[in-house]
Amino acid sequence: MEQAELQEKIYEFMQKMKGKKKLKEKDIIKHISGETGEDKDVVKKALRAMIDEGRLMYSYGGGASSVEIPSEEYLREKGLIK
């Protein structure tokens, strides 16, 4: 599977889970790898690339970290969108 296609799958999953469960990197990799049959390292690479460009971001609450879709307001504050 192309990385872009894999990233769309990841994004769809993240949208579906938004507000329902805090997901760690490992949860996302496990789910997408199970769903697509892609190797976990390949999924991890695709996920990390999304985090690097700000499409997904790490979040933090109560000392524990998760991965989330950033809000537009946050992206604007960071100057990543106008």
Partner 1 sequence: MSGKYKTPMLDELEKGPWPSFVTEIKKAAKKSDMAEDELGQLEKSYNTKRGYWKHGGIVGVLGYGGGVIGRYSSLPEEFPGVAHFHTVRVNQPSGFFYTTKALREICDIWDKYGSGLTNLHGSTGDLVLLGTKTENLEAVFAELSSRGWDLGGSGSAMRTPSCCVGMARCEWANIDTMDLCNELTQYYQDQLHRPAFPYKFKIKISGCACDCVAAIARADLSIIGTWKDSIQINQDEVRKYAEAGLDIQKEIVDMCPTQCMYYNPEDKTLKIADAECNRCMHCIAKMTKALRPGKEKGATLLVGSKAPIVVGSLLSWVIVPFMKLTPPYDDLKELIDKMIEWWDDNAKPRERIGELIEAKGMRAFLEAIGVPPMPQQVKEPRKDPFFFWAESDFKK
Applying CB under 8 A, the residues found at the interface with partner 1 are 22, 24-26, 48, 51-54, 57-65, 67-68, 70-71, 74, 77-80
Can you tell me whether residue 50 is helix, strand or coil? Answer: helix
Write down the least CB distance from residue 75 to partner 1, Å. 10
Q: Which residue type, as a one-letter code, is found at position 61?
A: G
Least CB distance from residue 55 to partner 1, whole Å? 10
> What is the nearest approach in angstroms of partner 1 to the Cβ of residue 77?
4
Work out the number of other CB atoms within 10 angstroms of the CB of residue 60. Answer: 9
Q: Which is nearer to partner 1, 6 or 29 (CB)?
A: 29
Beta-sheet strands, E only, within 5-82? 57-61, 64-68
Q: Dig out the tokens for 31 from the structure.
A: 């789910």
